[in-house]
C-alpha cells in the first residue's frame, strides 16, 4: 500500500493556511510535516485540517518563531518534543505510527538557520547550528527495534555540490560551508539514514527546495538550494515508489520561500 509523507517549511501556517489546504487537496499526502509554523499552540488551525480528513495533528509551537507540526490522516502515538542544545526552541516533533502493521517513527526537524557569518567564534547563531547538528547525530534510524524510521524537515543545509546553484560561490555562505555540510553528512551516517530524495535523483542533477525571497525573478535566476530533506532507514530504500518536489508552489500567490516535497513508499 503506498504511503506518502511530505514536508514543507510554510513560514507562518496561519498566513498561508490557504496554500496548505490547496496542497493537501491537490496532492493528498498521508502525512504532512510543517516547519516555521510561527504559531502558538492555542492558535493552531487544527480544525481546518480535520475538515480535510487530517484528523490527527501534533504541534510543537511557540509565539512568533520556529514551530513544527505533524498533520496526518493516520492515527499516531508516542508524541515526543525534544529540545536541542538546552535551548527551548520549538524545532522538533516526533510521532510513532503504524502503516499496514509496520511500525514507523517519524521525526520532523527545523534546524537553526545559523545567521550570516559562518564563524562560531563570533556568531552565536552559527555555533548553535553546529551544536544542533552535532546533537542530531544521536537521532538514529535504528533507535527502536523492528521499527522503520523517517526524518524530514528544513535542515537548512544543502550538503552536496548539486544541492546549490553554484558550489564555488556558496562555499562561504551559511547553508553550504564545509563545516555544515560535513557535519550533516556525519549525522546522516551515524544515524544510518539514507537520503531518500538523492536515492531517487542522480547526484549529477541539481535539486532545490528553496528560492530566496530576495531574488527579483526567482524562476529566471533559479538560484536555489536544497535545504529540505527526507531521510529514511535503509529498509525503506527498496520500498521507494516515487518522489515529488513541487516547484510550482514557489510561484503560488504569497508563497513560502520553501516548496513542499514528498516521497511515496510501498509499505
Partner DNA sequence: ATGGTCGGCTCCCGA
Positions in the binding site for DNA (CB under 7 A) = 11-12, 14-15, 36, 38-40, 63-66, 112-115, 125, 156, 213-214, 216, 254
Q: How far apart are CA 58 and CA 68, in angstroms?
A: 9
Which residue's CB is nearer to DNA, number 64 or number 234?
Answer: 64
Consecutive H or E run containing 78: strand 76-80
Q: Residue 166 CB, nearest distance to DNA (Å)?
A: 12
Q: Residue 78 CB, nearest distance to DNA (Å)?
A: 27
Are 31 and 74 in contact, with CB atoms under 8 Å apart?
Answer: yes
Q: Residue 110 CB, nearest distance to DNA (Å)?
A: 8
Consecutive H or E run containing 138: none
Catalytic residue list: 110, 154, 258
Task: Supply 260's cell numbers.
Answer: 513542499
- φ, ψ of residue 87 in degrees (nearest 5): -110, 130
26 is in an annotated binding site: no
Which residue's CB is nearer to DNA, number 194 or number 227?
Answer: 227
Which residue's CB is nearer to DNA, number 76 or number 210?
Answer: 210
Which residue's CB is nearer to DNA, number 4 or number 156?
Answer: 156
Closest to 128 (Cα-Cα) out of 67, 72, 177, 86: 86
154 is in an annotated binding site: yes
Q: Is 23 helix (H, G, I), strand (E, B) or coil?
A: helix
Consecutive H or E run containing 219: helix 218-221
Q: Residue 127 CB, nearest distance to DNA (Å)?
A: 12
Q: How far apart are CA 224 and CA 210, in angstroms?
A: 6
170-179 long-range Cβ contacts below 8 angstroms, 24+ apart: 170/225, 172/118, 173/118, 174/113, 174/114, 174/115, 174/116, 174/117, 174/118, 174/126, 174/129, 175/113, 175/114, 175/225, 175/227, 176/225, 177/118, 179/118, 179/130
9 is in an annotated binding site: yes
163 is in an annotated binding site: no
Are 92 and 60 in contact, with CB atoms under 8 Å apart?
Answer: yes
Q: Residue 150 CB, nearest distance to DNA (Å)?
A: 23
Which residue's CB is nearer to DNA, number 124 or number 248?
Answer: 124
- Residues annotated within the binding site are 9, 36, 154, 156, 257-258
Binding site for Mg(2+): which residues?
A: 9, 36, 154, 156, 257-258
Amino acid at each position: 500500500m503506498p504511503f506518502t509523507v511530505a514536508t514543507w517549511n510554510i513560514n507562518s501556517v496561519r498566513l498561508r493556511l490557504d496554500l496548505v489546504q490547496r496542497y493537501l487537496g491537490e496532492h493528498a499526502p498521508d502525512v504532512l510535516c510543517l516547519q516555521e509554523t510561527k504559531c502558538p499552540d492555542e492558535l493552531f488551525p487544527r480544525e481546518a485540517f480535520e475538515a480535510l480528513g487530517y484528523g490527527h495533528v501534533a504541534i510543537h509551537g511557540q509565539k512568533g518563531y520556529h514551530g513544527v507540526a505533524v498533520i496526518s490522516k493516520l492515527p499516531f502515538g508516542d508524541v515526543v518534543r525534544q529540545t536541542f542544545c538546552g535551548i527551548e526552541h520549538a524545532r522538533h516533533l516526533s510521532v510513532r505510527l503504524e502503516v499496514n502493521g509496520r511500525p514507523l517513527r517519524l521525526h520532523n526537524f527545523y534546524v537553526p538557520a545559523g545567521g550570516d557569518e559562518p564563524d562560531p567564534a563570533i556568531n552565536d547563531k552559527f555555533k548553535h547550528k553546529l551544536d544542533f547538528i552535532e546533537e542530531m547525530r544521536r537521532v538514529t534510524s535504528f533507535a527502536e527495534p523492528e521499527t522503520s524510521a523517517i526524518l524530514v524537515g528544513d535542515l537548512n543545509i544543502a550538503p552536496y555540490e548539486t544541492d546549490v546553484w553554484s558550489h564555488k560561490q556558496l562555499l562561504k555562505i551559511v547553508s553550504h560551508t564545509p563545516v555544515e555540510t560535513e557535519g550533516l553528512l556525519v549525522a546522516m551516517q551515524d544515524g544510518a539514514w539514507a537520503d531518500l530524495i538523492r536515492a531517487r535523483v542522480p547526484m549529477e542533477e541539481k535539486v532545490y527546495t528553496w528560492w530566496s525571497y530576495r531574488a527579483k525573478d526567482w524562476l529566471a535566476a533559479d538560484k536555489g538550494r536544497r535545504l529540505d530533506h527526507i531521510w529514511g532507514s535503509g529498509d525503506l530504500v527498496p520500498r521507494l515508489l516515487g518522489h515529488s518536489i513541487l516547484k510550482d508552489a514557489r510561484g503560488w500567490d504569497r508563497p513560502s520561500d520553501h516548496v513542499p516535497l514528498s516521497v511515496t513508499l510501498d509499505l
